[in-house]
Amino acid sequence: MPENLEQNFENEPILIFEGRSLKPKGYFDKTVIWSFEAGMVLCSLALSTIIVVAAIRRYVVRGDLYGYEEWVKLLAFWLYFLGGAYGAYNDTHVSADLIDSYLPAGRTRHVMIFIRQLITSAMSILFMYFGYFFFMYGLLGPIPKEVLKVGWGASGLAFNWNGVSLVCSQIDLLNGSGLTFDIINLWTTRAIARTTVWQIPLWTSYAAIFLGLIFMAIFFTRRCIHTGIALLKGMGGGKV
């Protein structure tokens, strides 16, 4: 590899090849990252408080803090997935990059890192897709998956909100005519899963999963795009 090309890679400020993290600059980044930091701190404090109180209650007072584990699980979900999104932003997720370690610095190594980030982005988007149905199941109850489908196929399905009801319209695109409407009253037909003791809706935990997966997909994909652009411009001998 030419010497000037190698210098471009080493001095490139936006390249993510060496695990450099992106510092919040724009309004969106600052708002999101500050919210994540505040949320993680609050969840950590709340978790610590509940566990300490439960320990005192059990071993000192000889009593029981009945159902405290339900709150612990809820807070742990939010702490874990906020931390996952935060780690995706800062590129601090645990990884075993053996290929990166054995390949010498240069174009081949940088291309391999880009491929790894591309696969990571694709997987995060896939998990976000499944996270959507997971969250909607907790929010709406056991409603058929087809009702939640977005987009059009041979027999298209769409949904929108109409007060407290979910209106599902189906158009038979093959025959060119049939138009049917199914109205589901969410307040009378849905069976929302809840915890046993405190009756906490499980969608409050599923929301943490879905939200964390959304931002992980955003940050992984953005990092991959930045790396790809910087890689292409670096190969051309320029800077981003």
Average pLDDT over residues 95-112: 77
Whole-angstrom Cα distance, residue 76 to residue 89?
20
| Amino acid at site 98 | L
Give the pLDDT confidence of 25-58 residue by residue, as tens digits: 788 999 999 999 999 999 999 999 999 999 999 9
Whole-angstrom Cα distance, residue 25 to residue 101?
30
Whole-angstrom Cα distance, residue 164 to residue 45?
37
Least confident of 51-60, 98-107, 110-119: 98-107
Give the pLDDT confidence of 142-181 residue by residue, as tens digits: 665 555 544 444 444 444 444 334 444 444 444 444 444 4
Q: What does pTM read for this prediction?
A: 0.72
Give the pLDDT confidence of 71-82 residue by residue, as tens digits: 999 999 999 999
Give the pLDDT confidence of 120-149 residue by residue, as tens digits: 999 999 999 999 988 988 887 766 555 554
Whole-angstrom Cα distance, residue 149 to residue 152?
9
Q: Bigger pLDDT: 194 or 11? A: 194
What mean pLDDT, rounded, does the chain reach? 76
Helices then strands (H, E): number in the chain?
7, 3
